[in-house]
Structure 1
Amino acid sequence: MRSPSPLLPLRTLPARLARSIRRGWLVWTAALAVLAITTLALLDEQREYEGALVALTRQQQMLALLLSDELAARLAAVRRDALLVADDVSAGHGPSEGMRKAYPSIEVRSSESAPSPHPPRTMSVLVPSTEGRTVELTVPVAWVMGPSARIERPDELVVLVRPPDEAMWQAADGRQIQSDPLTRAADAGHDTTRLERDEAVALGLPDRRAVAAVDATDTGTLGRWTTAVVASASQERDRWERARGRLLLGVLVPCALIVAFGATALRRQRRELELEKQLALAALVRASDERLARASRAATTGTLAMGIAHEISTPLGVIVGRAEQLAGRVGEDPKAARAVRTIGEQADRITQVVRGFLDLARGGSPSLRPVDPGDVAHGALRLVEHRFVAARVVLVTAVEDDLPTLAGDLRLLEHAVVNLLLNACEASGPGMQVALSVRSADAGVDFVVEDRGAGIRPEDIARATEPFFTTKAAGSGLGLAIVHEIVNIHRGSLVLEPHEGGGTRARIHVPAQGEECSDA
């Protein structure tokens, strides 16, 4: 009897081969499915990362535009000073003492002469004038760049300025930097560009890609100045790498279990990942909006403060000098002596207000001292009384007794109430009434100004405190913006609302002393 053959029967080969092919097909299908899903997820994350870079670039464009406007304003001030110097030279005397104190170096020479080397941390501004002369003013870099030093953040954002006809870029800390990508973008007229890792490191940023916004400002005779805002994409890159790691883990694990648990687990995981990405992007947008708002307020306040200081300092010095001269001539006339003393007091008040605005522009806080709300109200009334008399508008006041003491700056709070009273006076016609009431409310004090004028439209309330927004034909749009900033630094609130029966009701609430936070 023969033993059975060790070989498998031929008829069993096709079945085993079919099963092997099916198993191989399933393995390859699962592997391709995992690969396809992983690839699609990574591409989706890559698109999200590129979208985050685009959003970051747009934010830098807005910053560059704001800083470029600020730079143009400061250069315009330098040009005015240079023309004054040229006029002084033409008149036969040198620059004034104030000019010499304001600028480290002042030179007036012929237009053919070569510029002089300037000290470190400064830059030279050449201003052509009449009679073939050129005025060269040496200006500190930190002053020219203005709010850039406050906007810059170490390892995150750098602001650079390139003077006309120069290859080097100036940083706020005085460094001179050569950046070929920024120079190419500026020369080509591009608004944005991206920097590779080594190019970002050369600017003092982390070893990550960076995005930059470039804005050129034509200042006329001063040439074409260029502002560049460069932001590191390290946070977006790190967030993308973390999201990619989470994504790989979250996709591969469900794909490994997809045969056992089906497509339900995968869809659930994908929904969780999408929700996580949306939350991360929402947090990024909120943080970015807050940074842009702070930069805008800083730029606006800086422009306002520098304008006030520049325009008021000279006439204020003349007023003080004339008052001192008159003080020695009035003799025993009490009425004249009182008038001279009043001039000095009001000049001192102007000086204090200007200093307060300069502190706000530098990002500082006012010196908080105990303030009587009644002193704020009475001081404001003394300042606006003549305006109400001239406009024939009736001013009614009601100040409660035993009001809680405030912690703040008396002059700034007076200024805020004065602005509200003047707005109410301008909105009222002859014979109308404006009411100022000061009362305790919510662990603090309310200063309420009510008028019966045309009233504020509901759609204008949200924008009323924005800088330069105004509904008046000759308004500057800065009054309520200043009030809002003063109230904010006193940790208070400003509420505008239409008055029942017509008119506007404006309320300033300031917390009482001891209620504000320790960092006020």
Structure 2
Amino acid sequence: MRSASPPLPFRTLPSRIARAIRRGWLVWTAALGVLAITTLALLDEQREFEGALVALARQQQMLALLLSDELSARLSAVRRDALLVADDVSAGHGPSAGMRKAYPSIEVRSSESAPSVRPPRTMSVRVPSTEGRTVELTVPVAWLMGPSARIERPDELVVLVRPPDEALWQAADGRQIESTPLTRAVSEGRDTTRLERDDAVALGLPHRRAVAAVAATDAGSLGRWTTAVVASASQERDRWDRARGRLLIGVLVPCALIVAFGATALRRQRRELELEKQLALAALVRESDERLSRASRAATTGTLAMGIAHEISTPLGVILGRAEQLAARVGEDSKAARAVRTISEQAERITQVVRGFLDLARGGSPSLRPVDPGDVARGALRLVEHRFVAAHITLVTVVDEGLPTLAGDLRLLEHAVVNLLLNACEASSPGTLVALSVRAADAGVDFIVEDRGAGIRPEDIARATEPFFTTKPAGSGLGLAIVHEIVNIHRGTLVLEPHEGGGTRARIHVPAQGEECSDA
């Protein structure tokens, strides 16, 4: 017999696993996509932040230029006053009272003398005169950086001035500060620069990054002065942090939900796959049990068939012996001779069928010889036509011409078609029709039996060929099982299906004779 196909759950399990894997990849791909979008959005926000820093640096650059121009104007005023003091000293009298009131300290000395120590919160401005003297005016830082002191904002903006030939920067409150980033920007000729957090804290700004703009002022004989405006980027940074927080909340929360739902779905799918696997294993075990049961029933059937055949052989021998005795006594009675001949032929037929069943029960194979499909149909009709006449059922036969030759056992094929015709006869009502069609199909021959009886239920089709399964009150359950076995040994197929107009359609397909089955 042909091996049964694997149960449905095992055939569909790989595809379900593949679908689960695809769904899992889709979930993780979606999560990665959301993370990629989040990263791109953060990078875009970072570019916006960088753009804001550039705009802030440009603003400070404009402010530094304005303060540099104001510083240049004040230094010009100081230079003018220094030249007036030098003229007063040359004229033999000291600086005027107005000058002494305007400047905390006024000194006129030779160029070689060392400068004096200036008071706190002041800045010395040395102006060379035409007579080789140097006029050193001590200028209050608050006055020299007057506009700068007004625009400074605590924790936001700082203005610094660096006199010529000095390394320290002067703040409006009198502090002297060393700032490497500002000094490096001046030496490299850059207008703007950025300060890290520690450098910003050293200038009195918050622990945030800062931007600075520097502008140089050429005061002629007073040297080259430099003005620096340093602004903290804390506001921009805080706005960026808030925007980043909103972005992360708006994107990562849905991403987390997607991942959570995806993980939940994956766990659920794993449980479903595990359950399907268990069901498939249970179905396989059940299928194996059913096949073992069918094999057991088949073995029982074979044993029973062997016993029945053994018991039938003795009566058949008696019948054949009596028929031979009658044949010798009938003499010239042609009718009696024909009857005795028929008895002998049918008894011999029974002997051949029984012998074929015994071979099948022992596991042997029938002898395959060339068989004409028309002979199979005609032989089956001769055996069952009296049953149709008695049941008042019309039997219609259509046998196509030019049918291919089959390789098989004529008696067994006849018996298979006979069983189908008898089933159709028993299922039909008087006055109805049963049709037998023999036609070429798919490199073989189809024997089709159609009736208009009660029909077969779809749930009974799968079990119809099992031994001892029957829906008839007085049925044995062996007819279709025998047909199925005969068809299998002929490498054919048996298909049962409900007829469209009611009833049952049974089809036996037997492949045509091949080269290996040619008669010897």
Structure 2 length-normalised TM: 0.48
Taking a change above 3 Å as real, the CA distance of residues 6 and 365 of structure 1, as seen in their structure-2 partners, is closer
- How far the C-alpha of 1:114 sits from its partner, in A, is 1.6
Q: Does the alignment pair 1:452 with 2:448?
A: no
Taking a change above 3 Å as real, the CA distance of residues 9 and 386 of structure 1, as seen in their structure-2 partners, is closer
- How far the C-alpha of 1:189 sits from its partner, in A, is 1.3
Q: Say whether the 8 Å CA contact 2:35–2:252 is kept in structure 1.
A: no
Q: How many correspondences in the alignment?
A: 520
Taking a change above 3 Å as real, the CA distance of residues 70 and 290 of structure 1, as seen in their structure-2 partners, is farther
Taking a change above 3 Å as real, the CA distance of residues 194 and 408 of structure 1, as seen in their structure-2 partners, is farther
Q: Does the alignment pair 1:149 with 2:149?
A: yes
- Residue 285 of structure 1: SS of its match in structure 2? helix
Taking a change above 3 Å as real, the CA distance of residues 26 and 506 of structure 1, as seen in their structure-2 partners, is closer
- What is the alpha-carbon distance in structure 1 between the residues aligned to residue 326 and residue 124 of structure 2? 42
- What is the alpha-carbon distance in structure 1 between the residues aligned to residue 477 and residue 73 of structure 2? 18
- How far the C-alpha of 1:13 sits from its partner, in A, is 3.9
Deviation per residue, 1:410-462 (Å, 9 max, x gap)? 99999999999999999999999999999999999999999999999999999
Q: Say whether the 8 Å CA contact 2:10–2:280 is kept in structure 1.
A: no
Mean CA deviation greater in 286-295 or 13-22: 286-295
- What is the alpha-carbon distance in structure 2 between the residues aligned to residue 322 and residue 363 of structure 1? 33
Taking a change above 3 Å as real, the CA distance of residues 494 and 258 of structure 1, as seen in their structure-2 partners, is closer
**How do 1:44-193 and structure 2 match up within 5 A?**
44-193=44-193
- What is the alpha-carbon distance in structure 2 between the residues aligned to residue 486 and residue 497 of structure 1? 19
Q: Say whether the 8 Å CA contact 1:122–1:138 is kept in structure 2.
A: yes
- In structure 1, the partner of 2:375 is 375
- Residue 515 of structure 2: SS of its match in structure 1? coil
Higher radius of gyration, 1 or 2 = 2
- What is the alpha-carbon distance in structure 1 between the residues aligned to residue 354 and residue 81 of structure 2? 20
Taking a change above 3 Å as real, the CA distance of residues 327 and 18 of structure 1, as seen in their structure-2 partners, is closer
- How far the C-alpha of 1:11 sits from its partner, in A, is 2.8
- What is the alpha-carbon distance in structure 2 between the residues aligned to residue 77 and residue 487 of structure 1? 125
Percent identity, please. Answer: 90
- How far the C-alpha of 1:323 sits from its partner, in A, is 180
Mean CA deviation greater in 299-308 or 65-74: 299-308
Q: Say whether the 8 Å CA contact 1:108–1:136 is kept in structure 2.
A: yes
Taking a change above 3 Å as real, the CA distance of residues 28 and 467 of structure 1, as seen in their structure-2 partners, is closer
- What is the alpha-carbon distance in structure 1 between the residues aligned to residue 449 and residue 89 of structure 2? 52
- What is the alpha-carbon distance in structure 1 between the residues aligned to residue 314 and residue 109 of structure 2? 27
Mean CA deviation greater in 320-329 or 3-12: 320-329
Q: Say whether the 8 Å CA contact 1:250–1:269 is kept in structure 2.
A: no
- In structure 1, the partner of 2:309 is 309
Q: RCO higher in 1 or 2 (8 Å CA, sep ≥ 6)?
A: 2
Taking a change above 3 Å as real, the CA distance of residues 249 and 338 of structure 1, as seen in their structure-2 partners, is farther
Taking a change above 3 Å as real, the CA distance of residues 430 and 8 of structure 1, as seen in their structure-2 partners, is closer
Taking a change above 3 Å as real, the CA distance of residues 12 and 292 of structure 1, as seen in their structure-2 partners, is closer
Mean CA deviation greater in 79-88 or 21-30: 21-30
Q: Say whether the 8 Å CA contact 1:380–1:415 is kept in structure 2.
A: yes
- What is the alpha-carbon distance in structure 2 between the residues aligned to residue 343 and residue 138 of structure 1? 154
Provide structure 2 residue ranges, at least 5 long, that are not aligned to the other structure. Answer: none
- Residue 366 of structure 2: SS of its match in structure 1? coil
- How far the C-alpha of 1:287 sits from its partner, in A, is 82
- What is the alpha-carbon distance in structure 2 between the residues aligned to residue 110 and residue 511 of structure 1? 131
- What is the alpha-carbon distance in structure 2 between the residues aligned to residue 354 and residue 138 of structure 1? 140
- Residue 329 of structure 2: SS of its match in structure 1? coil
- How far the C-alpha of 1:159 sits from its partner, in A, is 0.3
Q: Say whether the 8 Å CA contact 1:427–1:454 is kept in structure 2.
A: yes
Q: Say whether the 8 Å CA contact 2:181–2:195 is kept in structure 1.
A: yes
Taking a change above 3 Å as real, the CA distance of residues 438 and 209 of structure 1, as seen in their structure-2 partners, is farther
Taking a change above 3 Å as real, the CA distance of residues 373 and 214 of structure 1, as seen in their structure-2 partners, is farther
Taking a change above 3 Å as real, the CA distance of residues 182 and 519 of structure 1, as seen in their structure-2 partners, is farther
Q: Say whether the 8 Å CA contact 1:151–1:295 is kept in structure 2.
A: no
- How far the C-alpha of 1:14 sits from its partner, in A, is 1.8
- How far the C-alpha of 1:12 sits from its partner, in A, is 3.6
- Residue 281 of structure 1: SS of its match in structure 2? helix
Q: Say whether the 8 Å CA contact 2:461–2:497 is kept in structure 1.
A: yes
- How far the C-alpha of 1:129 sits from its partner, in A, is 0.7
- What is the alpha-carbon distance in structure 2 between the residues aligned to residue 402 and residue 511 of structure 1? 15
- How far the C-alpha of 1:136 sits from its partner, in A, is 0.3
Q: Say whether the 8 Å CA contact 1:258–1:266 is kept in structure 2.
A: no
- How far the C-alpha of 1:116 sits from its partner, in A, is 1.2
- Residue 447 of structure 1: SS of its match in structure 2? strand
RMSD of equivalent CA atoms: 52.0
Taking a change above 3 Å as real, the CA distance of residues 72 and 24 of structure 1, as seen in their structure-2 partners, is same
